[in-house]
Structure 1
Amino acid sequence: MQPSVRSQSDPGRDPSARIKQAHAGGFKKVCRIEEDSVCPFPGLPSDVLEMRVKEGSKIRNLMGFSMTRMQDGQSQVVFSGSGRAVTKTITCAEIMKRKIAGLHQITKLQYKGLREIWESQEEGDAEMTIHRTLPCIRILLSKDPLDPLEPGYQPPALWDPRPAGEASQAPEKRSLDPAECLAEPLGKRVCV
C-alpha cells in the first residue's frame, strides 16, 4: 500500500510538467479554485452587466443576452475571460462594437491565480495541489464617455452606416487591352 502523499506545488517546477506527471501517475482533477481578482475599473456602478466568458461558452448565447440588455437601457458591459477564453472575450467585445455604434472601450490585462487539486485514482489517498497563473482580460464597453487618459482606452470606432451590400461596390472595370499588358515585363504584368 502506498503512503499518503500530500504535495504542494514546487516553486521551481513548471505547472504543466506537474499536470503531465499527475495524468501519468493516475491522478484525476477533483477541484479547480480560481482566485478572485480586483476589478481594474474603479467607480463602476454595482448594476453593471458583467459577462464572464468561459472556454466552452457559445458566442451567440453571450451576445444574445448582452445585446438585449444593452438595447434595453444598460449603458455599460464588462466582458471578462481568462486562459483559453481570452480570444473569445475579445471576439465578443468586437462584435458588440460593430453592432452598437459609439461604444467607448477600456481594456485591462491581469493575471489570475488558479489552484487545482488532483487525487489519485489508485488505492490510497494521495493528493496533489498545483498552483498556476492565467492571463485574464477585462473589456469595459460604455455608451457614456470614459476617461481618454486611462491606459487601455479606445475611442468609438467610425463605421460606415450603409448596409454591407451598398458599402462595397466594385469599381468600374476597364476593357482589357492586350498591347498594354505586353508592354510591361512578365513579372509585373497586371491586367484589370
Structure 2
Amino acid sequence: MENFRKVSTSEEESPLPFPELPPSVVEMKVKEGSKIRNLMGFALAHMEHKGSRQIVFSGCGRAVTKTITCVEIMKRKLGGLHQVTKVRYQTLREVWESAEPAPGGTPHHLTVHKNVPSICILLSRDPLDPNQMGYQPPEPAGSPGLLID
C-alpha cells in the first residue's frame, strides 16, 4: 500500500438496531474528529430544552470510545436514563489511488471494504425492556458513579 494514497472513506448506511424507535428520535453520529463539547451541547439541548424522551449515540472504529464517553457524560448530567447497548460491525469503503501513475496513463484505483467494530447506544427517559440484551438500568439516586479528578 506504500504506492497508494487514500482518496476517500465512506460508511455503508445501515439501520439502527432499535426497531421500535419513533421517527423523531435524534441520532448522534460520533466521528473520530468530533468534539465532545459540540456533541454534548447539541444532545443536552435536545434532551433538556426540546423535551426529547430518547436519543441514540452511534460510532464506529476509533470513534467507539468517544461515543461511550458521550453517553457516560449524558447519564451523569441528566440522571435516571435507561440504556440499551448494541455492538456490531460496520462496513467502511476506502478508495485508494496509485501515487505515481504510469506516464500518460490514468491512476489505478483500489477499493477496500473494511469491517470495523461499531456501537449504538439508546438512552431513554422512559423505561425500556429490562430483558433485552445490552440493557442497563438507571443508576440509583445518590450513587457516586465514576469519579474524575
Same-fold call, TM cutoff 0.5: yes
Q: Does 1:32 align with 2:14?
A: no
- Alignment correspondent of 1:145: 127
Instruction: After the TM superposition, list the runs of 4 or more consecutive aligned residues in structure 1 that deviate by more than 2 angstroms.
Output: none
**1:71-110 CA distances to partner (integer Å, 9 max, x unpaired)?**
0201100000000000000000000000111100000001
Q: How does 1:28-177 map to 2 (within 5 A)?
A: 28-72=5-49, 73-123=51-101, 124=105, 125-160=107-142
Q: Deviations 1:21-69 (Å, cap 9, x if unpaired)?
A: x2x11x2211222111231101100000110000111111100110011
Identity of aligned residues (%): 60
* C-alpha separation in 2, matches of 1:66 and 1:96: 8
Distance 1:111 1:132 in 2: 9
Query: Aligned-pair RMSD on alpha carbons?
Result: 1.4
Corresponding letter in the other structure for 1:85: A
How far, CA to CA, are the matches of 1:48 and 1:84 in structure 2?
24
TM-score, with length taken from structure 2? 0.89
Whose relative contact order is higher, 1 or 2, with alpha carbons under 8 Å and at least 6 apart? 2
Unpaired runs of 5+ residues, structure 2, are 145-149
Which structure has the larger Rg? 1
| Structure-2 separation of matches of 1:114 and 1:101 | 34
Letter in 2 for 1:50: E
How far, CA to CA, are the matches of 1:116 and 1:146 in structure 2? Answer: 37
